[in-house]
Chain A
Amino acid sequence: MAMDRVALASAPAGERVDASPETAFAKAPAAYVETRRRMSMNGWATLLIFLPPALLLFTIFVALPMVEAGWYSFFNWNGFGRPEKFIGLKNYVWLSGNPAFTRALINNGLIIVASLLVQLPLALGVALLIAGRMTGAVWFRMIFFLPYILADVAAGLIWRFMLDGQIGIPAIVTSLLGLQPFYLLGSTDWAFSAVLIVILWKYFGFHMMLYIAGLQGIDREMLEAAEMDGTQPYQRFWHITLPLLGPMIRLSIFFSVVGALQLFDIIVPLTGGGPFDTTHTMVSFLYYFGITRMRVGFGSAVGVVLFVICVTFAFGYRRLFMRDD
């Protein structure tokens, strides 16, 4: 089946229906037997030599900390000495009753929604515009990609100054209109919208690059053929470009959601979760309420919740949408 899928995917979309599975299958048995034979001879030796280092590192730095976090989340522990005060599920009870955490969850949801509904379509649109070989396209690509290269903390700081009510963009607007200075990042109504804009600005270049790469992989002849057949541009986009870009779009959605769930570095310099804990994400909540307050058990509980959400999403999404990619 695997060979079949590869054959289908590499064939141009127009021929998909006609692709004959027999040709793909014809070579399969021989290759299969060959691999199988080699596996029995060298397989175990290879396994014994190459698996332990990776497995060991994975266990020590990935699996063990995850299990430990789960373990700590049942304790009221400040990080000093050994966790001794076992409190069962209390950390989780406190977490569910914490309005700042609820707000952080909602914020994560909003970031995902904004990424999917605004950032990705925008990235796709720009990618379509500058994927071609028009003059200056490379420059545009670089300009749009620049924010992504910038360190998150630096970007956060820069925007903190840009959005400042005394020296930033709002200051220019308010002084022109003769209004009182307005502090975007200090307003509970507007701070999170500002954060969203910065996030869109920061990461849209990355998705644009993904799409450009995808667009460049599309066979131009097909588009030209469709053009000769008298199709409209939107028809070509809808029936040729978009389907062929499918794997890339699914990948970009995946990155976008996982990135939104893990968002942290921009929040800290920009708002620090404020004003009044209205701009936290789950990870910044973990940092401010778990680590800086030395509530390791409570922070671990946040980590576990975050882990469960991420894993559920990652596996669910891959099963549902990315099985063919």
Chain B
Amino acid sequence: MSLRHLALAAVCSAAFSASALADTTVTLLHVSEDKTAQALWGQIAKDYEAAHPGVKIEVKYLENEAFKAKLPTMLQADESRPSLFYSWGGGVMDAQAKAGFLKDVSADVAGVEADMAPTAVDAIKVDGKAVGVPFDQGVVSFFYNKKLFENAGMKAEEIKSWDDLLAAVKKLKAAGITPISVGAGEKWPMHFYYSYLVMRIGGEHALADAKAGKDGGFRSATFVEAGKRLRELAALEPFQPGYLTTKHAESTGIFGDGKAAMELMGEWFIGMQAPSSASGKGQPEEDIGIFSFPVVQGGKGKATDTLGGVNAFLVTKTAPKEAVDFLNFFSQEKYAKEAAEKGAYIPAYKGAEAWVKDPLVKQVAAELAATTYHQNFFDQDLGPSVGRVINDVSVAVAAGQTTPEAAAAAIQDAWDQQ
């Protein structure tokens, strides 16, 4: 190699490394289809770039299923690994942490997490260490059509216990109204019933105990009893005809069209019922009410224990330090407040209910604020393998296709096989 070549090579490498120093790229991968949230996040990225020259924030969107299928592969290689990515917490996050893909950022994010809801912050920890920062959370509750309830001569406030719910279903049926719509074709909407029943019967330790294998693990009396109760409800035929094939959006639309009186669903239901309905208008918000999942007599759970999702952005192990800095910037109260006011989501902040404008969302946020114990979705918490089994058996038990005992055993088998 001649000297000239050597010099050229040196100049080239210097040029490249210089440009690498000047431009740090932080990639953020998300699955949110909410236009308001997308616009806000794009704005936050721009704000950050303006304040930090030389740092580029790439906000990338992937469709939900594509995201889930691609992420394991993307995480493998340094070149494809995003700096920050969307997460539902739970079993998948644990697996990612165990495989060594996530960074312990406990010290870096402690400041911003101090003002956040402890339940949400705890949900994004693996072995007590924060691997990201939550940005929103929600609750699954019963949404009901006030007019249909009125027609059947009922008051939602009277539904306090499981038996009250069964009585309400009978009353609605007698009035010729479909009591409940459920998107059992996608299975997970039905697992909300099973999950809540487990929580109401077994209390806040039910799931942890089952995971630890206490009292037969998932074969325990709690899970069997939850299955029996679910079957008890389904035996009254409260769901819309053909519920086994109904998709989530369709069932939401059924409620939106006023063809069913109740639906057990997460907070996103509020924004979804109108666009999913055949009329496109849905129910006016003042005609929609909310009540918590009823308690089960003799159960250990409280009516204020809540089930719902927590979403976060996790930090990968090779993320540049700017990524953590951006995450702190992203998570600041200013933007959380903006998200709440614009109705994008319920931020994972203490007192977020005060910022929310929409009265229905405000009610959900208040429910969250008053929670005595918040549980992540069972199918997220348990990871994809056991989670899907829970979804499957919830529908099977409800339809009388499986016995509660066999359902509980199937969950335990899946747990043992992972």
Residues of B within 8 A of A165 (CB): 241-242, 245
Q: Say yes or no: B245 contacts A76, CB within 8 Å.
A: no
- Closest chain-B Cβ to A157's Cβ sits at a distance in Å of 11
Residues of A within 8 A of B244 (CB): 183, 186, 274-275
Greatest chain A CB density within 10 A among B385, B388, B395 is at B385
A223 CB–B CB distance under 8 Å = no
- Contact flag A80-B75 (CB < 8 Å), given A165-B241, A183-B241: yes
Residues of A within 8 A of B401 (CB): 188, 276
B100 CB–A CB distance under 8 Å = yes
- Closest chain-A Cβ to B234's Cβ sits at a distance in Å of 14
- Contact flag A293-B388 (CB < 8 Å), given A80-B75, A165-B241, A186-B242: yes
B289 CB–A CB distance under 8 Å = no
Greatest chain B CB density within 10 A among A76, A292, A293, A294 is at A294
**Chain B residues bordering chain A, tally (CB within 8 A):** 30
CA distance A81 to B399 in the complex (A): 39
CA distance A12 to B101 in the complex (A): 68
Residues of B within 8 A of A291 (CB): 69
Greatest chain B CB density within 10 A among A94, A166, A181, A288 is at A166
Cβ < 8 Å to B, chain A residues 89-133? 94
Q: Say yes or no: A78 contacts B385, CB within 8 Å.
A: yes
A280 CB–B CB distance under 8 Å = no
Q: Say yes or no: A294 contacts B241, CB within 8 Å.
A: no
A209 CB–B CB distance under 8 Å = no
CA distance A94 to B389 in the complex (A): 15
Candidates B75, B98, B101, B384; contact of A292 at CB < 8 Å: B384
**Chain A residues bordering chain B, tally (CB within 8 A):** 27
Residues of B within 8 A of A186 (CB): 185, 242-245
CA distance A248 to B100 in the complex (A): 55
**CB 8 Å contact bits of B76-105 with A (1 = contact, 0 = none):** 000000000000000010011011110000
- Closest chain-A Cβ to B74's Cβ sits at a distance in Å of 11
**CB 8 Å contact bits of A292-322 with B (1 = contact, 0 = none):** 1111001000000000000000000000000
CA distance A292 to B384 in the complex (A): 7
- Contact flag A183-B99 (CB < 8 Å), given A79-B72, A292-B384, A293-B385: no
Candidates B69, B72, B185, B392; contact of A80 at CB < 8 Å: B72
Q: Interface on chain A toward B: helix, strand, loop, or mixed SS?
A: loop
**CB 8 Å contact bits of B366-399 with A (1 = contact, 0 = none):** 0000000000000000011100100010011001
B418 CB–A CB distance under 8 Å = yes
Residues of A within 8 A of B383 (CB): 78, 294
B68 CB–A CB distance under 8 Å = yes
Residues of A within 8 A of B388 (CB): 288, 292-293
Q: Which residue of A lies closest to B242 (CB)?
A: A183
Q: Which residue of B lies closest to A287 (CB)?
A: B69
- Closest chain-A Cβ to B384's Cβ sits at a distance in Å of 4
Candidates B69, B96, B98, B399; contact of A276 at CB < 8 Å: B399
- Contact flag A295-B242 (CB < 8 Å), given A80-B75, A80-B101, A274-B185: no
Residues of A within 8 A of B395 (CB): 276
Q: Say yes or no: B92 contacts A294, CB within 8 Å.
A: yes
Q: Say yes or no: A294 contacts B385, CB within 8 Å.
A: yes
A247 CB–B CB distance under 8 Å = no
Residues of A within 8 A of B418 (CB): 76, 78, 295
Extra pairs beyond A78-B383, A80-B98 (19, CB < 8 Å):
A78-B95, A78-B418, A80-B101, A81-B101, A165-B241, A165-B245, A166-B241, A183-B241, A186-B242, A272-B185, A275-B245, A275-B399, A276-B396, A276-B399, A276-B401, A292-B68, A292-B384, A294-B384, A294-B385
The contact sample of 20 A-B pairs, CB cut-off 8 A, is: A78-B72, A78-B95, A78-B385, A79-B72, A80-B72, A80-B98, A81-B98, A183-B245, A186-B242, A186-B245, A188-B401, A272-B185, A274-B245, A275-B245, A275-B399, A288-B388, A292-B384, A293-B384, A294-B92, A298-B417
- Closest 8 CB pairs between A and B? A81-B99, A183-B242, A80-B99, A79-B72, A186-B244, A186-B245, A293-B385, A294-B384
Chain B interface (Cβ < 8 Å from any Cβ of A): 65, 68-69, 72-73, 75, 92, 95-96, 98-101, 185, 241-245, 383-385, 388, 392, 395-396, 399, 401, 417-418
